C-alpha cells in the first residue's frame, strides 16, 4: 500500500501557505458582492475548547462556501481582551493582567490558526490595546456630547468586605462570589448610557430583523418591556406631598385599597407618622442591604403601614400608604396603587396584611359577592366605579385617563423595563473613562487630542477598592480647561462597550485618525451572517444595535440602521452530557484532538454530529468515523495523485453504466446539498457531510469494479472542490497533487448539474387504502393511467382490491399511487 495520509504534515503545510500567500486577505471590490461573515469575539480565557471549535468550524465553512460561490468575503477575528478573569488572576496569584492576557491571546491565536480557519489576520484586533480602546474613549466622548452618557447616583451591589462594587452576575444568592459576604445595596455615583432613549426604535426595528431567530427577538422585546399605561398622583392626607403612580390598569382605579411604595421612595420619611416612624425606619433599614433579586425573588411580600393616608383622586376614598419590599424603586415611579381584587401580587399582599379588596371589574353576570380566592386579572365590565360603572375595561381606561388629564392629575405614559446601561466599573482591567474632575470647572471631558487616557501599568490589584483611584500617578492630573489641579475619573468601562462596535473596527483596523472610515463601512456593513451563542441574545446584541443606531444618526454608518442582518445561534458542546467547565475539569481542548486525529477530521465531526443549532455531545468514538472518511478520501484519490490531470471537474463525462451514473449523481447531490444549505442559511451541513459519505462510498465501490471509468476520474477530480469548505487542508493537498498550481479555496464551487442529478428510474409506491402494497421501478414522468395499469397487475394489489369498487385514485407524480376502494 502506498503512503498513508499524513494529516500532520499536510495541515501544517497549508496553514503556512495560506498565511504566506495571504490567501484570505479581504479587499474592498465594488465589482463583487460583499459578504461579512462574523463569529462572536472570544474572550481569551487561555485555551480553545471544542465548543469554540464548533463555532469556528461552522463560521469557517460558511465563509469558505460563500467565497467559492463568488462573494467577496470578509472574515475577521480578534480578542475581547478586557475583563475580570485577568484581574482575578492578579488577585489570586499576582499575575500582571496585561502579561496574563497577552499570553492567553498568544496561545488561543495559535490554536485558532491550528484549526485552519480562513480569517484575514491582518485585521486582527485586541481590545486592550491603546490603539483600540482610545476609540472606546472617543466614542464615549461623542455619547457624552450628545447627552447619552451621564453620571448619577444609583443603587449598586457593594461588598462591604472587599470594598468594591460587584456586577450583577457576581452576586450569587445575595452574596459576594469571592468572599461570600452579604452584598449591600449602596447609592453610588455611576456612569450610564441612555439606551432608553432608543427603546422604541430598538423595539420597533426588531420587526425588520427577519434574519434573526424569533426567540431572540422575543427575548429582546421582553427585555425592553414596553408597557403602555398612565401616570397620575394621589394626594397625601394632611400633607403637601403627592405620590405619583404608574399603572396599566387604570380601569381598576376604584379598586385601589392601599398605596404601596418602595423603601427608597423619597416621600416615605416625610409622611410617616410619629407613631410608625421607628418601625418603618427599621423595616427600610432591613431592606437597604438586600439586593433587588433577594427582595423580589427570595422574600415573601412584606410591608409596613406608614400611618399616613392617600386620597384616591377620583373616588376620593382614603387609602393607607404602606412601604413594601415588592415595589421596585427603579421602575415607574417607585409607587403603585394596590388593587387586591385585580392584581395577584396585591392580592397576596392584602391577604397577608388584612387589607380589604374591592372588586371593580367583573365578567358580565358574575357573582361579585362571593369571596375571592385569587385576583381577577382579565378585562370585564366596571362595577362600583362611579361615573365609569358599566363601561368595558378598554373604554374605562380611556375615559379615566381623559378625566385625570382634565383634572391635571395625570397623563398617559409609556414605561420600559429597559433601564439605562450602567457602564462604569470600579475596576482596573478596562478602558479608563475619559473624564476629569476639576475643582473649578467640574466634570470636564478629556479633549480628543489627549486620547488615549492610558491605563497605567504596575498598579497594585488587591481586590479591595478601585485600583485606579488608589493610584495617585494616574488619579492626579490637571484640568484640560483651566490647567488647575484635577482628578481623573477612576472607573473603567463595562467590557460590553468594546464589543458593541468592534465589528466596525475590523473593517478599518489600522486607521489612526478615526475609529473607521465611513466609505469602507459603507461597502462592508451590515454583517451578513453573525454566529454566536444564544447567551448573548440580549445584552451584547442589544447594546450593539443601540450603538449602531447612534452611529447611524451621526451618519458614521449609512444604509440600514441595524448592524446584523442575519444571526445564527450555534448549540453548545457537552461532554458526557455535561457542560464543559474548568471547575468540572471536563474541558476538551483542541490540541490533543488535532494532534491525534487531525483538524479536518475534527471539523468534519463537529459539523456532522448534530445540526449546528442543536446541543452536541463530544465523544471520543464519534470522531473515528471522520478520521476514516479522511483516509478513505485519500485512498480513493491516491491512484490519480502526482500524475497529469485526468479529468476536468467542470466537464461532466458521458457514461453509460448505472453505477457510473449513480456516482456522477452522488457527486452533484453532495454539491447541491452544500450550496443549498448555505444559501438557505439553514447550515445543516450534517446532511451535506452524510452526502459526502455516500459520494465517497459510491466512488470506492466503482473504483473497484471499473478503475478506468471516466466517472471515477471525474469524481476524484471534483472531490477537492466539494470538500474544500469542510476539510480545507485535505482539499488543497488533493487539488495540488491532482495537478493544480493555485489554491482550491479561491476556485468557484462545483455547480450542481441537472443532467447529473436526473434519474432514469424512480420507485413509485403503490398503496391501497393508504397502505403500501407494491413498489414499481418505472421511468420518471410515468402517467397516471400507465401507473394504474401496472399497479393493478401486481398480485398483492389485486388481492387487496379483490373486486371492490374503485372509489378514488390519488396520483402524486413520480412518488405514489394510492387506490381507494
Subset of residues 691 to 710 that bind RNA, contact rule: CB under 7 A: 693-694, 697, 700-701
Provide the minimum distance between the beta carbon of 420 and RNA in the complex, in angstroms, as a whole number.
13
Indicate which single residue of 165, 284, 336, 567 sits in contact with RNA (rule: CB under 7 A).
336
User: Applying CB under 7 A, does 690 fall inside the site for RNA?
Assistant: yes
Q: Which of residues 242-271 bind RNA (CB under 7 A)?
A: 246-249, 262
Q: Which residues contact 656 (CB under 8 A, 6 or more apart)?
A: none
Q: How far is the CB of 301 from RNA (least distance, A)?
A: 5
Preceding omega of 336 cis (within 30 degrees of 0): no
> Quick check: 119 and 39 in contact, CB under 8 A?
no
Distances (CA, A) of 418 to 219, 223, 330, 337, 562: 12, 6, 10, 22, 19
Of positions 3, 20, 240, 300, contacts RNA by CB under 7 A: 300
Q: Kindly tell me which of 285 and 624 has the beta carbon lying closer to RNA.
A: 624
* 757 touching RNA, by CB under 7 A: no
Q: Which of 771, 784, 789, 804 binds RNA (CB under 7 A)?
A: 771
**Site residues (CB under 7 A) for RNA, limited to 522-551:** 534-535, 537-538
Q: How far apart are CA 794 and CA 789, in angstroms?
A: 9
Among residues 22, 299, 407, 759, the one that binds RNA under rule CB under 7 A: 299
Alpha carbon distance 767, 787 (integer Å): 12
- Closest approach, Cβ 556 to RNA, in A, equals 31
Q: State the Cα–Cα distance between residues 703 and 298, nearest whole angstrom.
A: 69
List for the chain the helix, strand, coil content (%; round to 5). 40, 20, 40
Number of Cβ atoms within 10 Å of the Cβ of 679:
11
Residue 682: strand pairing partners: none
Sign of the C-alpha dihedral computed for residues 775, 780, 781 and 782 taken in this order: negative
Least separation in angstroms between CB 687 and RNA: 5
Tell the smallest beta-carbon distance from residue 219 to RNA (Å). 5
All cell numbers assigned to 757: 442529478
CA distances from 63 to 52, 60, 69, 499, 565 (A): 16, 5, 10, 21, 15
| Interactions with RNA, residue window 386-425 (CB under 7 A) | 415, 417
Q: Which of 687, 737, 794, 798 binds RNA (CB under 7 A)?
A: 687
Instruction: Tell me whether residue 346 or residue 733 sits nearer to RNA (CB atom).
Output: 346
Residues 722-751 binding RNA (CB under 7 A) are none
What are the residues facing 382 on neighbouring strands? 361
What is the nearest approach in angstroms of RNA to the Cβ of residue 460? 35
Q: How far is the CB of 15 from RNA (least distance, A)?
A: 25
Nearest-approach distance from CB 808 to RNA, in angstroms: 6
Of 207, 274, 297, 651, which one interacts with RNA (CB under 7 A)? Answer: 297
The distance of closest approach from Cβ of residue 690 to RNA in the complex, given in angstroms and rounded to an integer, is: 3
CB of 677 to RNA, least distance (A): 9
Does the protein bind RNA through residue 586 (CB under 7 A)? no
Q: For residue 526, say if its preceding peptide bond is cis, omega within 30 degrees of 0.
A: yes
- By CB under 7 A, which span of 139-147, 287-295, 402-410, 478-486 interacts with RNA? 287-295
The span from the CA of 534 to the CA of 753, in Å, is 37
Q: According to CB under 7 A, which residues from 114 to 153 bind RNA?
A: none
Binders of RNA among residues 9 to 38 (CB under 7 A) are none
Binding segment (CB under 7 A) for RNA, from list 69-77, 296-304, 514-522, 641-649: 296-304
User: Cell 459526502 maps to which residue?
Assistant: 692
Out of 122, 187, 285, 763, which residue is the one contacting RNA (CB under 7 A)?
763
CB of 212 to RNA, least distance (A): 13
Question: Scanning residues 609 to 628, which ones bind RNA (CB under 7 A)?
Answer: 609-611, 614-617, 619, 621-622, 624-625, 628
Which is nearer to RNA, 328 or 384 (by Cβ)?
328
- State which of positions 629-648 bind RNA (CB under 7 A): 631-632
- Distance in angstroms (rounded) separating the CA atoms of residues 772 and 230: 65
Choice from 686, 737, 794, 798 touching RNA (CB under 7 A): 686
Q: What is 541-581 written as a DSSP string?
A: HHHHHHHHHHHHHTTSS-S-S-SBSBEE-PPPEEETTEE--
**Smallest gap, in angstroms, from Cβ of residue 776 to RNA?**
10
What is d(CA 131, CA 124) in angstroms, rounded to the nearest whole number? 12
Q: Of 93 and 808, which CB lies nearer to RNA in the complex structure? A: 808
Residue nearer to RNA on the CB measure, 130 or 752: 752
Query: Which set of grid coordinates corresponds to residue 18?
Result: 495560506
Q: Does 812 bind RNA (CB under 7 A)?
A: yes
Give residues 180-239 in contact with RNA (rule: CB under 7 A). 214-215, 218-219, 222, 225, 227, 229
CB nearer RNA, residue 118 or residue 252: 252
Instruction: Point out which span in 307-315, 389-397, 404-412, 764-772 binds RNA (CB under 7 A).
Output: 764-772
DSSP structure class, residue 294: I
Tell the smallest beta-carbon distance from residue 170 to RNA (Å).
Answer: 15
CB atoms under 10 Å from CB of 268, counted, come to 23
Only segment of 315-323, 583-591, 680-688, 730-738 that touches RNA (CB under 7 A): 680-688
Residue 450 DSSP code: G
Which of 684, 717, 729, 745 forms a contact with RNA (CB under 7 A)? 684
Interacting residues with RNA between 309 and 328 (CB under 7 A)? 325-328
Nearest to RNA of 325, 743 (CB atom): 325
Task: Select the residue interacting with RNA from 23, 45, 296, 481 (CB under 7 A).
Answer: 296
Strand 442-445 relative to strand 435-438: parallel, antiparallel, unpaired? Answer: antiparallel
Which is nearer to RNA, 34 or 682 (by Cβ)? 682
Least separation, in Å, of the C-beta of 645 and RNA?
25
Phi and psi of 87, rounded to 5°?
Answer: -70, -35
Is 73 or 537 the residue whose CB approaches RNA more closely?
537
In three-state secondary structure terms, 153 is strand
Element (H, E) at 69: none
CA angle in degrees (0–180, nearest 5) for 91-93-95: 80
Cβ at position 345, least distance to RNA in Å: 4
Q: Which position among 94, 770, 781, 803 is part of the footprint of RNA (CB under 7 A)?
A: 770
As a whole number of Å, the CA-based R_g of the chain is: 34
Calpha distance 54→227 (Å, rounded):
39
To RNA, the closest distance from the beta carbon of 138 in angstroms equals: 31
Closest by Cα among 564, 432, 567, 558 to 488 = 432
Residues 211-233: b if buried by 16+ CB within 10 A, e if exposed: bbbeebbebbeebbebeebbbbb
Distance from the Cα of residue 820 to its chain's centroid:
51
Beta-bridge mates of residue 159: 164
Query: Which residues, numbered 782-811, are part of the site for RNA (CB under 7 A)?
Result: 796, 808, 810
For 239, 495, 615, the CA distances from 431, given in Å and listed in that order, are 48, 8, 35
Between 160 and 213, name the residue whose CB sits nearer to RNA.
213
* 342-371: contacts with RNA (CB under 7 A): 343, 345, 348
Q: Least distance from C-beta 815 to RNA, angstroms? A: 4
Question: Among residue numbers 460 through 499, which ones bind RNA (CB under 7 A)?
Answer: none
Spacing of C-alpha 327 from chain mean position = 31
CA-nearest of 733, 809, 716, 726 to 770 is 809
Q: Is 737 exposed, middle or buried (0-12, 13-18, 19+ CB in 10 A)?
A: middle
Number of residues in contact with RNA, rule: CB under 7 A? 83
H-run or E-run covering 643: none
Which neighbouring-strand residues pair with 155? 187
Q: How far is the CB of 300 from RNA (least distance, A)?
A: 6
Amino acid at each position: 500500500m502506498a503512503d498513508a495520509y499524513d494529516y500532520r504534515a499536510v495541515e501544517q503545510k497549508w496553514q503556512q501557505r495560506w498565511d504566506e500567500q495571504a490567501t484570505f486577505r479581504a479587499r474592498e471590490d465594488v465589482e463583487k458582492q460583499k459578504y461579512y461573515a462574523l463569529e462572536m469575539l472570544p474572550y481569551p480565557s487561555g485555551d480553545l475548547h471544542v465548543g469554540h471549535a464548533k463555532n469556528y468550524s461552522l463560521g469557517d465553512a460558511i465563509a469558505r462556501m460563500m467565497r467559492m460561490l463568488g462573494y467577496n468575503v470578509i472574515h475577521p477575528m480578534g480578542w475581547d481582551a478586557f475583563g475580570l478573569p485577568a484581574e482575578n488572576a492578579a488577585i489570586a496569584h499576582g499575575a500582571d493582567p496585561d502579561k496574563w492576557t497577552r499570553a492567553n491571546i498568544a496561545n488561543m491565536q495559535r490554536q485558532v490558526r491550528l484549526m485552519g480557519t480562513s480569517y484575514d489576520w491582518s485585521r486582527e484586533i485586541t481590545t486592550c490595546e491603546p490603539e483600540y480602546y482610545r476609540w472606546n474613549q472617543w466614542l464615549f466622548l461623542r455619547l457624552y456630547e450628545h447627552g447619552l452618557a451621564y453620571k448619577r447616583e444609583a443603587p449598586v451591589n457593594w461588598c462591604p468586605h472587599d470594598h468594591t462594587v460587584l456586577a450583577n452576575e457576581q452576586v450569587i444568592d445575595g452574596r459576594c462570589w469571592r468572599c461570600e459576604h452579604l452584598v449591600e445595596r449602596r447609592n453610588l455615583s455611576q456612569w450610564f448610557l441612555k439606551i432608553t432613549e432608543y427603546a422604541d426604535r430598538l423595539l420597533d426595528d426588531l420587526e425588520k430583523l427577519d434574519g434573526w431567530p424569533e426567540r431572540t427577538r422575543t427575548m429582546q422585546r421582553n427585555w425592553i418591556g414596553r408597557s403602555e399605561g398612565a401616570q397620575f398622583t394621589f394626594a397625601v392626607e394632611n400633607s403637601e406631598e403627592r405620590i405619583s403612580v404608574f399603572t396599566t390598569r387604570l380601569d381598576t382605579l376604584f379598586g385601589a385599597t392601599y398605596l404601596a411604595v418602595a423603601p427608597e421612595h423619597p416621600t416615605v420619611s416625610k409622611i410617616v407618622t410619629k407613631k410608625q416612624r421607628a418601625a418603618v425606619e427599621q423595616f427600610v433599614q432591613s431592606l437597604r442591604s438586600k439586593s433587588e433579586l433577594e427582595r423580589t425573588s427570595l422574600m415573601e411580600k412584606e410591608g409596613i403601614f406608614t400611618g399616613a393616608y392617600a386620597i384616591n383622586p377620583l373616588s376620593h376614598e382614603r387609602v393607607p400608604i404602606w412601604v413594601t419590599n415588592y415595589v421596585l424603586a427603579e421602575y415607574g415611579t417607585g409607587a403603585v396603587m394596590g388593587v387586591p381584587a385585580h392584581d395577584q401580587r396585591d392580592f397576596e399582599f392584602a391577604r397577608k396584611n388584612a387589607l380589604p379588596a374591592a372588586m371593580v371589574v367583573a365578567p358580565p353576570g358574575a357573582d361579585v359577592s362571593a369571596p375571592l380566592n385569587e385576583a381577577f386579572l382579565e378585562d370585564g365590565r366596571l362595577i362600583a366605579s362611579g361615573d365609569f360603572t358599566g363601561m368595558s375595561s378598554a373604554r374605562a381606561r380611556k375615559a379615566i385617563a381623559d378625566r385625570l388629564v382634565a383634572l391635571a392629575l395625570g397623563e398617559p405614559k409609556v414605561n420600559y423595563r429597559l433601564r439605562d446601561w450602567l457602564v462604569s466599573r470600579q475596576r482596573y482591567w478596562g478602558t479608563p473613562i475619559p473624564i476629569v474632575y476639576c475643582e473649578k470647572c467640574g466634570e470636564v471631558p478629556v479633549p480628543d487630542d489627549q486620547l488615549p487616557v492610558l491605563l497605567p501599568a504596575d498598579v497594585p490589584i488587591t481586590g479591595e477598592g478601585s485600583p485606579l483611584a488608589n493610584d495617585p500617578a494616574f488619579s492626579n492630573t490637571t484640568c484640560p480647561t483651566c490647567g488647575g489641579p484635577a482628578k481623573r475619573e477612576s472607573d473603567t468601562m463595562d467590557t460590553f462597550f468594546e464589543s458593541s462596535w468592534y465589528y466596525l473596527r475590523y473593517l478599518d483596523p489600522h486607521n489612526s485618525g478615526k475609529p473607521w472610515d465611513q466609505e469602507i463601512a459603507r461597502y462592508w456593513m451590515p454583517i451578513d451572517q453573525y454566529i454566536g451563542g444564544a447567551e448573548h441574545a440580549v445584552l451584547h446584541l442589544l447594546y450593539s444595535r443601540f450603538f449602531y443606531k447612534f452611529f447611524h444618526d451621526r451618519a458614521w454608518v449609512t444604509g440600514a440602521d441595524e448592524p446584523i442582518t442575519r444571526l445564527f445561534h450555534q448549540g453548545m458542546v457537552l461532554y458526557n452530557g455535561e457542560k464543559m467547565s474548568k471547575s468540572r475539569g471536563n474541558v476538551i481542548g483542541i490540541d490533543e484532538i488535532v494532534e491525534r486525529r487531525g483538524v479536518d477530521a475534527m471539523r468534519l465531526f463537529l459539523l456532522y454530529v448534530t445540526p449546528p443549532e442543536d446541543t452536541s455531545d463530544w465523544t471520543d468514538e464519534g470522531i473515528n468515523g471522520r478520521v476514516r472518511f479522511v483516509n478513505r478520501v485519500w485512498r480513493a484519490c491516491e491512484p490519480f495523485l502526482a500524475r497529469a490531470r485526468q479529468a476536468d471537474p467542470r466537464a461532466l463525462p458521458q457514461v453509460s453504466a448505472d453505477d457510473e451514473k449513480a456516482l456522477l449523481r452522488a457527486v452533484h447531490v453532495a454539491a447541491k446539498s452544500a450550496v443549498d444549505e448555505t444559501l438557505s442559511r439553514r447550515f445543516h451541513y450534517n446532511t451535506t457531510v452524510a452526502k459526502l459519505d455516500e459520494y465517497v462510498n459510491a466512488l470506492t465501490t466503482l473504483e473497484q469494479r471499473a478503475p478506468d471509468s471516466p466517472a471515477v476520474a471525474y469524481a476524484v477530480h471534483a472531490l477537492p472542490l466539494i470538500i474544500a469548505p469542510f476539510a480545507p487542508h485535505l482539499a488543497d493537498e488533493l487539488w495540488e497533487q491532482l495537478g493544480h498550481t493555485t489554491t482550491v479555496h479561491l476556485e468557484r464551487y462545483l455547480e450542481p448539474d441537472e443532467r447529473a442529478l436526473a434519474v432514469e428510474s424512480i420507485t413509485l409506491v403503490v398503496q391501497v387504502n393508504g397502505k403500501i402494497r407494491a413498489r414499481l421501478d418505472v421511468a420518471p414522468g410515468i402517467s397516471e393511467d400507465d401507473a394504474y395499469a401496472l399497479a393493478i397487475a401486481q398480485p398483492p394489489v389485486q388481492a387487496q382490491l379483490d373486486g371492490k369498487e374503485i372509489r378514488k385514485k390519488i396520483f402524486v407524480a413520480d412518488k405514489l399511487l394510492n387506490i381507494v376502494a
